[in-house]
Amino acid sequence: MGKSAFVFPGQGSQTIGMGRELAENYAAAKKVFEEATEALGFDIEAMIFDGDEETLKITENTQPAIVTTSVACLEVLKEKGISPDVVAGLSLGEYTAHVAAGSITFADAVKLVRKRGKFMQEAVPIGVGTMAAIIGLTQAQVIDCCEQAEKIGVVEPANFNCPGQIVVAGEVSAVEKVCETAKEKGAKRALILPVSAPFHCSMLKPAGDKLAVELDKVVIHDGEIPVIANVNAEYIKNKDEIKPLLIQQVSTCVKWEDSIRKMIDDGVDTLIEVGPGKTLSGFAKKIDRTLNILNVEDLTSLEKTLERLEG
C-alpha cells in the first residue's frame, strides 16, 4: 500500500454554498463554520452559504472562507478515520495544511489568512499589478519571457503549477509584454487572470512584512504530519522554519509541481484534494497520470472517495 497525501486549494476555488452539504450532514463540519465565525467576529458562515459572489471574491473574505471550507471537509475525513501521510496546500492552502498537521490552530489560521488577504490587497494599488497564465511553455521559456519584459517593469514567475501551466505576476505593462512574448514563443494561450493583485512576486514584500508582525503573535507547534512548503518544495523540518517560510511565500514563486513530484518520489500514490473545486486534481493529472486522484468537497465526492479508499 502506497502513501496518501491531502492537498488543499488556494484562492479562486471559492463558490457560494461551498461546504453547506457537509455542514448540514456532519456536526464536525458544522462546528468548523461556527468556530470560524467566532474567531473572526462576523458571520462568515452566512457569507459562504448565502452571500453574494462579489463579497466572497474580496481577497480578505476569500482566504478565510476557503480555509474554513477546507478544514470542514478535513474534519469529516478525520471522523471517518482517514488521515494523510503528508500534506501540502497551494498558496493560501498551505495554512490549511498546517491546520491539518497540527502546527497552527484553526482559529489562528483563519484570523491570519483574513489579515494576509488584506495585506496582499493593500501592498499594490488596484490596477497597478496583475497576473497571467501561460499555457504550453516550459519553465525555462517562461523565465526567459520574464527576463525580456523586466526592462518594462517588474514581472516574475508566480506559480509553477504543472507541466505547461505557469502563472506570472507583476506590473500590468510587463505582464502584458510576457503574454506577447510567450505567444511568439508558441504558447497555446497567454491570458491575464481576473485577480486584484500580483500575488507571489516581489511587489508583495510589504505584505510579508506586515504578516510577520501577525505571525509573531501566534504560537506555532511542530507538525504531527509532514508538510511540504511552497517556497522550496521541501519538507518543513521543525516549527522554527514555519514563520519565515509563510512570510517568504507571499512574495515568492509557488513551486507546486515540484511539491507534488516530491511526494511521488517519497511513495505517495493517492492524492486527495480536500476543499472546494478540483483545480489541484487537474494539475496532478498533468504531473503524473498514474496517481490515484480523489477529492472531497460535498456529499457525492465524499462518498465516492470513501468507496475508492475502502475498495
What residue spans define the domains of the chain?
Answer: 3-123+203-310, 129-195
For cell 506590473, the residue is 171
Cα-based angle 119, 123, 126 (whole degrees, multiple of 5): 110
* Equal CATH topology for 3-123+203-310 and 129-195: no
DSSP letter string, 118-169: HHHHHHS-TTTEEEEEEES--HHHHHHHHHHHTTTS-EEEEEEEETTEEEEE
Which residues 6+ apart lie within 8 Å of 40 measured at CB? 64, 110, 111, 114
- Are 241 and 215 spatial neighbours (Cβ–Cβ below 8 Å)? no
Is 103 one of the catalytic residues? no
Look up residue 135 and give its amino acid.
I
- Are 99 and 74 spatial neighbours (Cβ–Cβ below 8 Å)? yes
Question: What's the confidence (pLDDT) of residue 245?
Answer: 97
Instruction: Please identify which of the residues 4, 13, 98, 200 carries the catalytic annotation.
Output: 200
Topology at the third CATH level for domain 3-123+203-310? Malonyl-Coenzyme A Acyl Carrier Protein; domain 2 (3.40.366)
Would you mind telling me the total number of residues written for the chain in this entry?
311
**pTM score of the predicted model:** 0.96
- Are 183 and 279 spatial neighbours (Cβ–Cβ below 8 Å)? no
Task: Please provide the CATH number assigned to the domain covering 129-195.
Answer: 3.30.70.250
- Are 73 and 20 spatial neighbours (Cβ–Cβ below 8 Å)? no
Is 251 one of the catalytic residues? no
C-alpha to C-alpha distance for 232 and 244, rounded to whole angstroms: 12
pLDDT above 70 covers what percent of the chain? 100
Which has more confidence, 194 or 264? 264
Residue 196 above 80 pLDDT? no
- Per-residue b or e along 267-282, where b marks 16 or more CB atoms closer than 10 Å to that residue's CB: ebebbbbbbbbbbbbe
Instruction: Please identify which of the residues 91, 103, 251, 301 carries the catalytic annotation.
Output: 91
Over residues 149-174, the mean pLDDT reads: 97
Which residues 6+ apart lie within 8 Å of 291 measured at CB? 264, 268, 269, 270, 271, 284, 285
Over residues 175-184, the mean pLDDT reads: 98
What's the pLDDT tens digit per position in 37-96? 999 999 999 999 999 999 998 889 999 999 999 999 999 999 999 999 999 999 999 999
